[in-house]
Each structure stands twice: as structure tokens, then as C-alpha cells.
Chain A
Amino acid sequence: MIEITAYALQILLIIIAIAIVVHKNNGTIIILITSFSLVTASLYVINNAPDVAIAEVAIGSAIIPLIYVISISRQREFIVLDRAMDDFIRKTFDKEGDGYRLLRDFSEYYKLELNISNDPELCNYDPDKDQVICEKTNVDLIIQKDEKTGEYLLKGKDSSVLMHKLEELASNYPNIKVVRFKDGEFGD
């Protein structure tokens, strides 16, 4: 009886492993990897190794799914720091700001989830050190209004692929300018 159970569990294990390799959606894979670790834990018990099974259950039930969930959810996010504080990226009932339209197109193209922040500490940070903010915190884009010309400046990292696309989209809007920071100008 225990032999048959062992064979059935091993075949289940192989099926789950193939499903993980074939599947495209990373969110579904988290559920699969949790069930994978449960099946391996029961196989450890069948192999007369209860010590190892306890370790696998303790690690695989909470901590591994948590770190996968966080690192996958971080990939859908694009964090924007809004320093302009006007209607530029807001939508009111009768009109849409230019920045709102631009960022909506952009996030739909890459299926990103936009998070717009007005964090006062970061907003009042020295504007000359925007590059430091981009490199040292997890802010991806900074929006700033140039008081003299009335242009809006979008600042981001040069190395990011997303910034190239944003620059391409922004060329349709005359009052928006994209600034890209070069890598490595700010000391290591």
C-alpha cells in the first residue's frame, strides 16, 4: 500500500514540476510551488525522514511563498513621485491632464500598476539631487514643473527600458520633456 502511495506521489510531483516549467503566469506558479513543497514533504516522510519533512513544511508553507509574492508584485509597479502638485496628472470630471493621458497609455502598454506618491519628505528634498533619489530609493519617475518655461520635466534612470518607451510616447506632447540620468555619474 505504501509503495503504491509513493509511486502515485512521485508521478504527481513530476506532473507539478512540468506544470511549473510550462506555465507562463508567475502568479499561478506560486500556488503550484506551495503544493510542490507539500508533496515533497510527504515523500520525505515516506522515505523515513521526519526531521527533513518538518524543515520543509516550516520553510515551504509561509516564507518561500511570501518572498515570491513580494518579488512578483514588485514587478507590476511603477512608482511616480509627483512634485508638480497641480492638475498635470489628475483627472477631473471635464478634462484630463496631459500627464494623466501619457501615463495611462504608458501603463496600459506595459500592463504596469501606477503608484503616484506625494510623500512630503521626498518632495521637499533638494531638487538637484533627484538622481540620488532615483538610485537610492525605489522611486522610478519624478515629475517636476519648470517654473520659467512652464514645461513639465519627467526624470528617470537612463538604463531602464521603460524610459525609452516613455520618451517615445512623450514626443507627441510639446510641453513635456523627458530627462534621463546617465549611469555612474553619481559616485558608487
Chain B
Amino acid sequence: MNPLLTFLVVLIGLYGLSTSKNIIKSVFCVTITEAGVILLFLNLGNLEGGSIPIFAEGLVNIVDPLPQALMITTIVIGSTVTALALMLCIKIFHHYGSVEWDVVLRDGGEE
């Protein structure tokens, strides 16, 4: 496992977020970035090795359990936030008739 390779996933997500022309594509890129950040947290907790953080006979070294406890909630919350963003996309399509950033920004600016 290499944290640098994991950070590359975050950067790819950020690149997609800033260049995508479609709103739904942006939501996809947010999902990628989020997965990269979660993986990075777990990666840093696992840096010095260890076993699964569940008590058993003869346990001497565990991975850091704190990032894992935070990341579980992040995954569940992240899915609901994605759902909220997609519901807004549906409403934007009904209002403007398009989900391209160019069209929505141009028409939104006129008002």
C-alpha cells in the first residue's frame, strides 16, 4: 500500500470536478474524491501495520481504530449527500431543461 498512489485518486477526482461540463459528472467526481480521502485515512492508520482492531487471544499490535470509526459514518453520510445533490440535479433539469454547466450558468445569470 502506498499513500502517494492513494492521493493520486483524490487528485484525479479534483481534476474531474474542475473540468467536467455536466452536473451529474461533477457528482460522480465528488464520489471519487470521497472514496480517495477515506482510503487515505485508513492507509495512514495502517502505516505501521497491525491486526484488525477486535480483541482476541495474544493481541499485541492493532491498526489505529479511530480513523475507521470516523470513516464508517462518512460513508453513510456521503451517500445521503450524493442523493441530495442528485435530487437537486433532477430539479435543475426540470427548471432549465438541461444539466450542462454552461447552459445553467448562462440562464441563471440572466435573471
CB B59 to nearest CB in A, in angstroms, measures: 12
Query: Which residues does chain A contribute within 8 Å of B93, judged by CB atoms?
Result: 74-75
Query: Which residues does chain B contribute within 8 Å of A140, judged by CB atoms?
Result: 94, 97
| Interface class of chain B by DSSP | helix
A105 interface residue per 8 A CB criterion: no
Cα separation A94 to B103 with both chains bound (whole Å): 40
Cα separation A31 to B99 with both chains bound (whole Å): 21
Is B96 in contact with A49, judged by CB distance below 8 angstroms? no
Query: Which residues does chain A contribute within 8 Å of B63, judged by CB atoms?
Result: 47-49
| A46-B1 CB under 8 A given contacts A52-B68, A68-B86, A161-B103 | yes
Query: Which residues does chain A contribute within 8 Å of B75, judged by CB atoms?
Result: 52, 55-56, 59
Cα separation A118 to B80 with both chains bound (whole Å): 35
Is A17 in contact with B96, judged by CB distance below 8 angstroms? no
| Interface class of chain A by DSSP | helix
**Which of under 10, 10 to 19, 20 to 34, or 35 or more describes the interface residues of B?**
35 or more
Is B97 in contact with A43, judged by CB distance below 8 angstroms? no
Is A47 in contact with B111, judged by CB distance below 8 angstroms? no
Q: For chain A residues 9-48, which have a beta carbon within 8 Å of chain B?
A: 10-11, 13-14, 17-18, 20-21, 26, 29, 33, 36-37, 40, 43-44, 46-48
Query: Which residues does chain B contribute within 8 Å of A52, judged by CB atoms?
Result: 38, 42, 68, 71-72, 75
Query: Which residues does chain B contribute within 8 Å of A26, judged by CB atoms?
Result: 22, 24-25
CB A30 to nearest CB in B, in angstroms, measures: 9
CB A139 to nearest CB in B, in angstroms, measures: 10
Is B97 in contact with A163, judged by CB distance below 8 angstroms? yes
Query: Which residues does chain A contribute within 8 Å of B31, judged by CB atoms?
Result: 33, 36, 64
Which residues of A pack against B, CB within 8 Å? 3, 6-7, 10-11, 13-14, 17-18, 20-21, 26, 29, 33, 36-37, 40, 43-44, 46-52, 55-56, 59, 63-64, 67-68, 71-72, 74-75, 138, 140, 157, 159-163, 183
Inter-chain pairs besides A13-B9, A44-B42, A161-B97, 20 sampled, C-beta below 8 Å: A7-B2, A20-B29, A26-B22, A26-B24, A26-B25, A29-B25, A47-B42, A48-B46, A48-B52, A49-B52, A49-B68, A52-B42, A52-B68, A52-B72, A55-B72, A67-B86, A75-B93, A161-B96, A161-B107, A162-B97
Which residues of B pack against A, CB within 8 Å? 1-2, 5-6, 8-9, 12-13, 15-16, 19-20, 22, 24-25, 28-29, 31-32, 35-36, 38-39, 42-43, 45-46, 50-53, 63, 68, 71-72, 75-76, 79, 82-83, 86-87, 89-90, 93-99, 103, 107, 111
